[in-house]
Amino acid sequence: MRVALGIEYDGSRFLGWQTQSGGGTVQDALETALAAIAGERVAVTCAGRTDRGVHALGQVVHFETAASRPESAWVRGVNAMLPDSVAVLWSRETTADFHARYSALARRYRYLLLNRPVRPAIAASHVGWCHAPLDAGAMRAAAVHLVGTHDFSAFRSAECQASTPVRELHSIDVSRRGERIDFAFCANAFLHHMVRNLVGSLVYVGCRRRPPEWIREVLESRDRRLAAPTFSPAGLYLESVAYAPDWNLPATARQVMLPEGA
């Protein structure tokens, strides 16, 4: 039997998604909890691996099991076995051809950036920070150059293992809410560090270190050395994963809840 789960987690409490020999990752915690309910070893596959410090509101995973359990067992039962920094939101039995990663049509990430002179304290692990005043309009003008199907080599890490650097970036939205700036990215898939590298370069434009047209020059260069440094993981959230309606999975989009003023 193949089961799909929707999960959320606080990435500041884990060493990333992917399992490690010493433990401490989201995958390690989830597989241990699932095994306790299934009564057998369980291996999970996720829609998108997240780095250390990156959060998820709508991660989707699937796993195979011979155990027959009600959906409530895969939610409430597993949650009882998980640390409080990760939770299963929903469960659905699905067919063998469903794949959390390869069946996904799009992923949506959101980056939350606190833009004020003083660094954050309460939300320090959950927002990025830039002390210099940022021009959201200039960043929106720069983002226009990134939308579409492109080779994003200039915005991926040297450790990226993707077979191709070509991705279709459906949309980028840059909006200001008081002292907070939200960056929303939707694409068919993302490269390793792609969102954080894009945010870093957009911030260069926002603080007027570069003009909006510079983003297009960097993109076309395909040279990572020309882009800005990788931004902090603290403000990055895997917000949702989109699938065809035929899979009958619950919507995964959820609002980021932060303390007032963050």
Catalytic residue among 28, 51, 223, 246: 51
What CA–CA distances, in Å, run from 250 to 59, 118, 148?
A: 12, 39, 28
**First-to-last C-alpha distance (Å) of the chain:** 43
Measured CA to CA, the distance from residue 47 to residue 19 in angstroms comes to 15
- 198 within 8 A of 185, measured Cβ to Cβ: yes
Measured CA to CA, the distance from residue 135 to residue 93 in angstroms comes to 46
- Among candidate residues 211, 111, 102, 194, the one with its CA nearest the CA of residue 150: 194
Longest distance between any two alpha carbons in the chain, whole Å: 58
The verdict on whether 51 is a catalytic residue reads yes
Residues annotated as catalytic (active site), given as ranges: 51
